[in-house]
Amino acid sequence: MEALVASAVGVMTAAGIFLILRRRTFPVILGLSLITYAVNVFLFATGRLALNAPAVLNKYEDVAYTDPLPQALVLTAIVISFGMTAVIVMIALSAYLSSKDDHIDMKPDDSVDAPGEDA
Amino acid sequence: MSLFLIAALPFLGAVFPALLIRAGRNAAASAAGLTTFLALMGLLIHIPSVMRGEVITARFDWIPILGLNANFMLDGLGFLFALLILGIGLLIILYARFYLSREDPMGQFYTYLLLFQGAMVGIVLSDNILLLLIFWELTSLSSFLLIGYWKHLPEGRQGARMALAVTGSGGLAMIAGMLILGNIVGSYDLSVILQNKELIQASPYYLPALILILLGCFTKSAQFPFHFWLPHAMAAPTPVSAYLHSATMVKAGLFLMARMWPVLAGTDAWFYIVATTGLITMLIGAVIALFKDDLKALLAFSTVSHLGLITMLLGFGTKFAAVAAVFHIINHATFKAALFMTAGIVDHETGTRDIKKLGGLRHLMPITFTIGTIAALSMAGLPPLNGFLSKEMMLEETVHTTWLNSHYLVPVLAVVAALFSAAYSFRFVSHVFLGPQRDSYPSKPHDPPVGLWIAPSLLVVLVVLIGLYSAAIVGPLVAVVSSAVIGGEKLPYYSLKLWHGFTPALYMSVIATLGGLFLLSLHSHAERLWNALPRPEAKVIFEAIINALTRLSHWITDELHNGVISRYAIILIAFTVALGYYAFSTGGMGLPTRVPLPAQIIPIIGWICLVGATLAIMWFHRNRLLSLVLIGVVGLIVSMAFNYLSAPDLALTQISVEVVTMILLLLSLNFLPTDTPWDSTAGRRWRDAAISVVAGIGSGALIYAIMLRDFAFPTISDFHLANSYKGGGGTNVVNVILVDFRGFDTFGEIIVLGIAALIIFALTEAVLGSNVRAYLLNRKPHWPQSGDSHPLMMVVATRVMMPIALMVGAYIFFRGHNQPGGGFIAGLIVAIAFLMQYMASGYTWAIERQRFYYHGTIGWGVLIAAATGIGAWFNERPFLTSDFGYINWPPLEEFEWATAILFDTGVFLAVLGAVMLALDSLSRFAWQPGMAQEFPMDINPLRDSPPEDDKEKEQG
């Protein structure tokens, strides 16, 4: 089981990194989503894996529990990552609509703040 | 009055002038004056105990573990400075009321002035050096506002920037010095530091700390070679110059040197750095002052010179010199503030400050003449005025000082400085007031209204009285302050009187005064000589340095931050991989201690789906729609994996987030190109692939290693499991952690989420407000649109499902504390229920039925969560402590009620609002004119055929 989780994390990380190194906005967004999955699973797995042992207390019998702390952290991370994805999507979209260009790299002449400007 | 209140009053009062200016300028000025008066009275109440030599303290431990406490103390030294700050502040407020013209925004002025005053009072009352540093920086900031008060004047803006750059960077150096000092002693409390002279002076870090702290003091007090900012700061209105640059801010550096005197002074390093700097400053300031034609510039350089004098006295490190320094601080504050105000009056009434255009004002402005002359003669050091007394003490002390085995160097230079000082003081009197009357003044001079001259005349009365009856008026004060400066040790013998007999100091004084008169008679010759001399212009040098630094930082920024984001990404990733490799190759790792779980068939199938989909995304990522479908598969498998691996909460969250993310990405794909062209070269792709594979192997191997080993340290999770029910009243430990144990984190997170949604909204507004809107309105969709865009089945189904979905949301919400669920998941579920309506019945239909704004939802969510947290304060518990109890309402079962559910309500609303606001904003891009007439279940016959260009594509 551990090997499956670890290899899945590895594959998702590799694919995510490959995609964020592309030069258009959309693959970068996809790459970030994949890395988000990988990171969330990674963090979750630091609590070690357990089967049929949720972090809900059982008052009738003594049972093994899973580690609740990484779960709580990952839960908020999932929701926050939605916010992050949404912001990035919106930035990518605004940039594309304004310039009709979805390259992530600025060309040298796109520079906004020309040097030597002094108040 | 509590010391907290004294320090806080100016800050509290700063609000009023800005508001009351609507009620008139008198109201604003009175509010400022009243605040200062109250604080001054609060200070004066402490006179009896301060005079007994007691130290009054007020402690508030804020972050004790960092040594950051809001501790205040009031001893003699702090009392003197607070008295100067508040007393002269009061006079300045009065003076400024009549000085500023109708066009100047007076409310702003008093607000800045009070902010500055509060910061200064904070410095002199702080007992904690970290607190002191904060106030120190506040004075730099507020003085920036004051110096640049006349925003329309370029000199004002430049002077303000220069002052901020110099004093601000000095302040940064001082932060470092203070931290070193605090580290040596092990406490940041001044009262503790002042007890540890031997420890500090024996430390190897004494010298660095000393130099850094002195950098702060010297920049603030305009000591050579940082003296140049002070004259440029004279572009400020005169009340500001009189306040900041005579009595208060420039004295902050002196204050700190005096404050630290007991522990830092007495070493060779201290003597040679401080006394030499003071001596040079005193000399240079006095010489330059003589050749300045601008009245305020003359006074500015004379201030530089006098600050140098006091610095030199403190640098001598003897007790007698410390007493003389204290006495001169008092005297200088009185006569210099009066002189600045006089200069302001002259400027105000004649329209010029240029000495060359003035002269002969004594009959036209007799009152001003009297005030200015007395103050200037005190500055020159003539008896029986107070300036004479402290100058005598200074000269007396120089006679006993040897500098590198030379007995003559210091006294001779001190006499030269005193000579120039006398000369420029006489010049102030004779070239402005004496001499023939002119007809060429820019405006007709006459004495100002009483409001302008009352403040300087009060100061001049002090100048005379202190001179005549020094021992009676300021004797006790000087004694108590001096004993605070020298650290409570026995005071040396000194006497504050005019006549000491025929002492060396008297001869030196006579030489200086007569020499000064003689020099003034030669002034026109000396001036020619001075103008012929080459000398460096500080402003040019300063600007050259600043420009060079600006160019350097521009160059670095442009090189590093050139806009090629893929380069940043690859540098970041490659560096992280290298760092990981370094950590791996240098660290150790124990043997596996956990037995791996067996892999069953279902997880293996899931794994195949996930890995297959991931690889397929890489392969097909150019087809954007397909890759979205594939990433949906990945998300689903991840949520199933969470469920399988005992994390039902995560599974629920992941699957609902998955839905909204997919909708979001689909919506955005509507506007983006449908496929990704080939940009990178093959070499680049191979390089990227190699880095990705290494990073993937690294992260996979790391988590594999972690999962097979037990925790290296005892985990804190057991605490949460044990206390979740007892302390938090819930059995779902994950939810209890979110809303209770780590409630503060969650609180921050919902705020972040809300901010993200607001950013999206703002971006949408910006984009739709630009010319992009026209493009969007005329845009042709990528794909042929269905004529039946809001199908009957879907509309009916979603409307039927709506109450059910809301019910599920409520159920998930309420069970959250004890079973998987909670505010986050419920928020997402309800958001999806709303989104279904948007999708099925159309955007126009949905927003017509929307009764509340999503901004408000987010805001209420955060407010409710905050209010719940604050509620704990009323029960004297820390922020966000939750409470719970059991309620028994027959015939219902006994049920539990926890305040955490209120907090969770906040979370729910914030998540709901954020998700909806984000998607709602994005949907607005799609709005086109034709949609206004569109209703659910309508069929649009025009949409039956695909758009034109698609047809062509099919044919071609």
* DSSP per position, B35-65: HHHHHHHHHHTTHHHHHTT--EEE--EEEGG
Tokens of B237: 């209105």
pLDDT tens-digit readout, A6-50: 999 999 999 999 999 988 899 999 999 999 999 999 999 998 888
User: Residues of A with CB below 8 A from B634's CB?
Assistant: 12, 34, 37
**Residue B551 falls inside a structural domain:** no
Q: Which residues of A, range 94-113, sit inside 8 Å of B by Cβ? A: 94, 96-98, 102-108, 110-111
The residue range of the domain holding B391 is 268-521
Per the CB < 8 Å rule, is B756 touching A92? no
Per the CB < 8 Å rule, is A22 touching B566? yes
Q: How far apart are CA B734 and CA B652, in angstroms?
A: 13
Per the CB < 8 Å rule, is B657 touching A78? yes
Per the CB < 8 Å rule, is B720 touching A68? yes
Asked if the model's pLDDT at residue B45 lies above 70, the reply is yes
Q: Select from A68, A78, A115 the Cβ nearest to the Cβ of B554.
A: A115
Sign for the CA dihedral angle at B499, B505, B507, B511 comes to negative
pLDDT given at position B549: 93
Instruction: Enumerate the β-bridge partners of residue B885.
Output: B897
Q: How far apart are CA B303 and CA B234, in angstroms?
A: 12
The shares of helix, strand and coil residues in chain B, as percent rounded to the nearest 5, are 75, 5, 25
Per the CB < 8 Å rule, is B706 touching A45? yes
Q: B38, B6 in Cβ contact below 8 A?
A: no
pLDDT given at position B489: 76
Q: How far apart are CA B901 and CA B909, in angstroms?
A: 12
Minimum Cα–Cα distance from A21: chain B residue: B566
**Final residue before a domain boundary, out of B521, B541, B569:** B521
For chain B, what is the mean pLDDT? 87
- Check whether the bond before B891 is cis (ω within 30° of 0): yes
Per the CB < 8 Å rule, is A93 touching B759? no
Give the pLDDT mean for B401-409. 82
Please name which of B625, B674, B660, B696 lies closest in space to residue A21, comparing C-alpha atoms. Answer: B696
pLDDT given at position B714: 86
The verdict on B737 touching A (C-beta cutoff 8 Å) is yes
Please name which of B947, B925, B927 lies closest in space to residue B772, comparing C-alpha atoms. Answer: B925
Minimum Cα–Cα distance from B599: chain A residue: A1
Chain-centroid distance of CA B11 in Å reads 15
Give the pLDDT mean for B604-632. 93
**3-state per-residue secondary structure call for B16-31:** HHHHHHHHCHHHHHHH
How many separate helices (H) and strands (E) can be counted in chain B? 42, 6
The torsion defined by the Cα of B496, B499, B504 and B510, in degrees rounded to 10, comes to 110
Per the CB < 8 Å rule, is B597 touching A105? no
Q: How far apart are CA A119 and CA B165, in angstroms?
A: 15
Per the CB < 8 Å rule, is B558 touching A11? no
**Residue B530 falls inside a structural domain:** no
Tokens of B253: 């550096």
**Residue B549 falls inside a structural domain:** no
How many of the other CB atoms lie within 10 Å of CB of B951? Answer: 12
pLDDT given at position B943: 56
B127: three-class secondary structure by DSSP: coil
pLDDT confidence bin for A110, thresholds 50/70/90:
low
Q: B138, B122 in Cβ contact below 8 A?
A: yes
How many separate helices (H) and strands (E) can be counted in chain A? 3, 0
Q: Select from A11, A21, A75 the Cβ nearest to the Cβ of B649.
A: A75
Give the mutation candidate from A7, A9, A17 for the B interface (greatest B CB count, under 10 A): A17
- CATH 3.30.70.2190 assigned to A2-49+65-104: no
Minimum Cα–Cα distance from B613: chain A residue: A12
Pairing of strands B68-69, B72-74: unpaired
**Residue B670 falls inside a structural domain:** no
Q: B479, B75 in Cβ contact below 8 A?
A: no
User: Residues of A with CB below 8 A from B570's CB?
Assistant: 21
pLDDT tens-digit readout, B303-324: 999 999 999 999 998 888 988 9
Pairing of strands B884-887, B895-898: antiparallel
Q: B676-700 burial by CB neighbour count: b if 16+ within 10 A, else e?
A: beeeeeeeeeeebeebbbbbbbbbb
Q: How far apart are CA B146 and CA B244, in angstroms?
A: 9
**Final residue before a domain boundary, out of B503, B521, B539:** B521
Tokens of B568: 């940043």
pLDDT given at position B217: 93
User: Residues of B with CB below 8 A from A64's CB?
Assistant: none
Per the CB < 8 Å rule, is A118 touching B731? no
User: Residues of B with CB below 8 A from A101's CB?
Assistant: none
Tokens of B339: 């002189």
Question: ipTM beyond 0.90?
Answer: yes
pLDDT given at position B881: 78
pLDDT confidence bin for A109, thresholds 50/70/90:
low
**Residue B257 falls inside a structural domain:** no
The verdict on B704 touching A (C-beta cutoff 8 Å) is yes
Q: Select from B603, B635, B676 the Cβ nearest to the Cβ of A26.
A: B676
> Structural domain tally of chain B?
2
Range with the lowest mean pLDDT among A59-63, B134-138, B291-295, B530-534?
Answer: A59-63
- Check whether the bond before B384 is cis (ω within 30° of 0): yes
**Residue B452 falls inside a structural domain:** yes
The verdict on B778 touching A (C-beta cutoff 8 Å) is no
Tokens of B510: 């006579």
**Residue B360 falls inside a structural domain:** yes
Own/partner contacts of B225-229, CB < 8 Å, gap of 24 or more, are: B226/B166, B226/B170, B227/B281, B227/B284, B227/B285, B227/B304, B227/B538, B228/B162, B228/B166, B228/B538, B228/B539, B228/B542, B229/B159, B229/B162, B229/B163, B229/B165, B229/B166, B229/B167
Q: B902, B944 in Cβ contact below 8 A?
A: no
Give the mutation candidate from A21, A100, A103 for the B interface (greatest B CB count, under 10 A): A21
Domain ranges of chain A: 2-49+65-104
Tokens of B97: 């009321």
Minimum Cα–Cα distance from B827: chain A residue: A79
User: Residues of A with CB below 8 A from B680's CB?
Assistant: 22-23
Give the pLDDT mean for B211-225. 91
Q: Select from A21, A94, A106 the Cβ nearest to the Cβ of B569.
A: A21
Nearest CA distance, B927 vs chain A (angstrom): 15
Per the CB < 8 Å rule, is B706 touching A115? no
Asked if the model's pLDDT at residue B541 lies above 80, the reply is yes
**Final residue before a domain boundary, out of B496, B521, B546:** B521
Minimum Cα–Cα distance from B736: chain A residue: A72
pLDDT given at position B512: 87
Minimum Cα–Cα distance from B739: chain A residue: A72
Per the CB < 8 Å rule, is B634 touching A34? yes
Q: B420, B290 in Cβ contact below 8 A?
A: yes
Minimum Cα–Cα distance from B762: chain A residue: A90
Nearest CA distance, A1 vs chain B (angstrom): 5
Asked if the model's pLDDT at residue B648 lies above 80, the reply is yes
Chain-centroid distance of CA A52 in Å reads 27
User: Residues of B with CB below 8 A from A104's CB?
Assistant: 565-566
Nearest CA distance, B824 vs chain A (angstrom): 8
What's the angle, vertex CA B81, arms to CA B76 and CA B85, rounded to 5?
A: 145
pLDDT confidence bin for B938, thresholds 50/70/90:
low
Range with the lowest mean pLDDT among B87-101, B147-161, B816-830, B875-889?
Answer: B875-889
Own/partner contacts of B356-360, CB < 8 Å, gap of 24 or more, are: B356/B293, B357/B438, B357/B440, B357/B441, B357/B442, B358/B295, B358/B431, B358/B432, B358/B438, B358/B441, B359/B431, B359/B432, B359/B433, B359/B434, B359/B435, B359/B436, B359/B437, B359/B438, B360/B433, B360/B434, B360/B435, B360/B436, B360/B437, B360/B438
pLDDT confidence bin for B141, thresholds 50/70/90:
very high
Give the pLDDT mean for B711-716. 85
Nearest CA distance, B639 vs chain A (angstrom): 10
Q: Which residues of A, range 44-63, sit inside 8 Å of B by Cβ? A: 44-59
Write the DSSP symbol of residue B737: I
For chains A and B, CB pairs below 8 A equal: 329
**3-state per-residue secondary structure call for B481-500:** HHHHHCCCCCCCCCCCCCCC
Residues with Cβ within 8 Å of residue B745, at least 6 apart in sequence: A76
pLDDT tens-digit readout, B719-743: 888 888 887 788 889 988 988 888 8
Tokens of A41: 């699973």
Percent of chain B with pLDDT over 70: 96
Asked if the model's pLDDT at residue B521 lies above 60, the reply is yes
pLDDT given at position B940: 62
Per the CB < 8 Å rule, is B621 touching A27? yes
Where does residue B732 rank: exposed (0-12), middle (13-18), buried (19+ CB within 10 A)? buried
Per the CB < 8 Å rule, is A45 touching B703? yes
Tokens of B532: 């012929």
Sign for the CA dihedral angle at B594, B597, B598, B599 comes to negative
Q: Select from A30, A33, A105 the Cβ nearest to the Cβ of B564.
A: A105
Q: Select from B573, B671, B760 the Cβ nearest to the Cβ of A86.
A: B760
The verdict on A32 touching B (C-beta cutoff 8 Å) is no
Most confident of B440-444, B520-524, B803-807, B932-936: B803-807
Per the CB < 8 Å rule, is B645 touching A51? yes
Which helix (H) or strand (E) segment is B72 a member of?
strand B72-74
Q: B832-860 burial by CB neighbour count: b if 16+ within 10 A, else e?
A: bbbbbbbbbbbbebbeeeeeeebeebbbb
Residues with Cβ within 8 Å of residue B507, at least 6 apart in sequence: none
Range with the lowest mean pLDDT among B127-141, B302-316, B380-394?
Answer: B380-394
Q: How far apart are CA B260 and CA B240, in angstroms?
A: 28
pLDDT tens-digit readout, B737-778: 988 888 889 999 999 999 999 999 999 999 888 888 888 888
Give the pLDDT mean for B902-929. 90
**Residue B408 falls inside a structural domain:** yes
Tokens of B782: 């990528």
Sign for the CA dihedral angle at A37, A38, A39, A43 comes to positive
Per the CB < 8 Å rule, is A13 touching B700? yes
Give the mutation candidate from B554, B733, B908 for the A interface (greatest A CB count, under 10 A): B733
Asked if the model's pLDDT at residue B949 lies above 60, the reply is no
Tokens of B880: 């966000």
Tokens of B430: 């004779």
Nearest CA distance, A26 vs chain B (angstrom): 8
Residue type, B566: S
Q: How far apart are CA B628 and CA B620, in angstroms?
A: 10
Asked if the model's pLDDT at residue B570 lies above 50, the reply is yes
Per the CB < 8 Å rule, is A12 touching B820? no
pLDDT confidence bin for A118, thresholds 50/70/90:
very low
